[in-house]
């Protein structure tokens, strides 16, 4: 039966990693996966992460499953970092995921389960966005988001795309540090987009992978928080890979901003069910590290 499978094209980003490894030139520069590198080309571990891991090593007394929803304290602390006090916590459903990719996949599956027909995707975008949405069964509509020659966001194109979207369509937005261009929306642009999304009855799916890498921890989510205060429903996919340097620990979460605690409970049960049939339980270690750091004032300051 395996002979019936067609050879799939390699992911261009992953193929670049292979080319880099085979290149024997000493001055080579890795432009593949977006991870932090120091001047020697290494990806160091945060001092605060090491301290948290040491504490976990000494105090952790169980390796039992943590359940499909994941570490609930981690979810609370992470949402405080992302959403602040914009939305009443009981109106927010959260599920821990294997990285930001897992969060995006659960979000796409949830949109499909709700009867969502498609999602609007600005180009260029992270290479795995479209495949994730496609495999979840969503139709993808695209528009040009960034002009490489002027190195600027084509805001009029974004507005036109949203004006042409049908009520119930999802739209992907980058909270900050747009991947891969680095493009940033201004405060005024976020306000216009939030009003338009609410007016058109669209469902924003916000990808947050670089909080703190642009203008600062709070500044990088200011537009997102404004959006959450305007729209009745939204999805936020969060990655801890960059902000905490936890790339290989696959630590992330999907949050849903809902209009009531009852709605949040329904969304949470669906996200947990989707997780159960996909990977069952999320990995614990990275989330435990993040929880430990955010719970301790000294570690948090050092982070």
Q: Active-site residue numbers?
A: 126, 207, 209, 242
CA neighbours within 13 Å on the CB side: how many for 65?
7
Say if CB 240 and CB 252 are below 8 A apart: yes
């Amino acid at each position: 039966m395996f002979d019936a499978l067609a050879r799939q094209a390699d992911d261009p980003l992953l193929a670049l990693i292979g080319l880099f490894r085979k290149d024997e030139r000493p001055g080579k520069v890795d432009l593949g996966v977006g991870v932090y590198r120091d001047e020697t080309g290494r990806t160091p571990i945060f001092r605060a992460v090491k301290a948290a891991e040491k504490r976990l090593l000494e105090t952790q007394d169980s390796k039992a499953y943590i359940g499909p929803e994941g570490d609930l304290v981690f979810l609370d602390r992470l949402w405080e970092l992302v959403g602040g006090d914009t939305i009443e916590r009981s109106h927010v459903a959260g599920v821990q995921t294997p990285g930001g990719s897992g969060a995006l996949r659960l979000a796409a599956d949830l949109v499909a389960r709700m009867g969502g027909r498609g999602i609007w995707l600005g180009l260029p975008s992270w290479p795995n966005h479209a495949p994730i949405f496609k495999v979840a069964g969503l139709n993808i509509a695209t528009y040009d988001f960034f002009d490489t020659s002027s190195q600027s966001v084509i805001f009029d194109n974004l507005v036109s795309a949203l004006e042409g979207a049908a009520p119930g369509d999802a739209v992907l937005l980058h909270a900050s540090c747009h991947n891969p261009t680095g493009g940033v929306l201004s405060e005024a642009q976020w306000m216009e987009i939030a009003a338009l999304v609410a007016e058109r009855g669209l469902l924003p799916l916000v990808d947050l992978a670089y909080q703190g890498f642009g203008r600062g921890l709070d500044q990088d989510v200011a537009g997102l928080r404004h959006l959450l205060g305007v729209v009745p429903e939204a999805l936020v996919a969060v990655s801890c890979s960059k902000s905490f340097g936890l790339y290989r620990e696959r630590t992330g979460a999907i949050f849903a901003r809902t209009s009531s605690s009852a709605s949040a409970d329904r969304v949470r049960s669906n996200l947990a069910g989707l997780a159960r049939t996909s990977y069952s339980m999320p990995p614990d270690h990275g989330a435990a590290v993040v929880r430990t750091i955010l719970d301790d004032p000294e570690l948090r300051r050092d982070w």
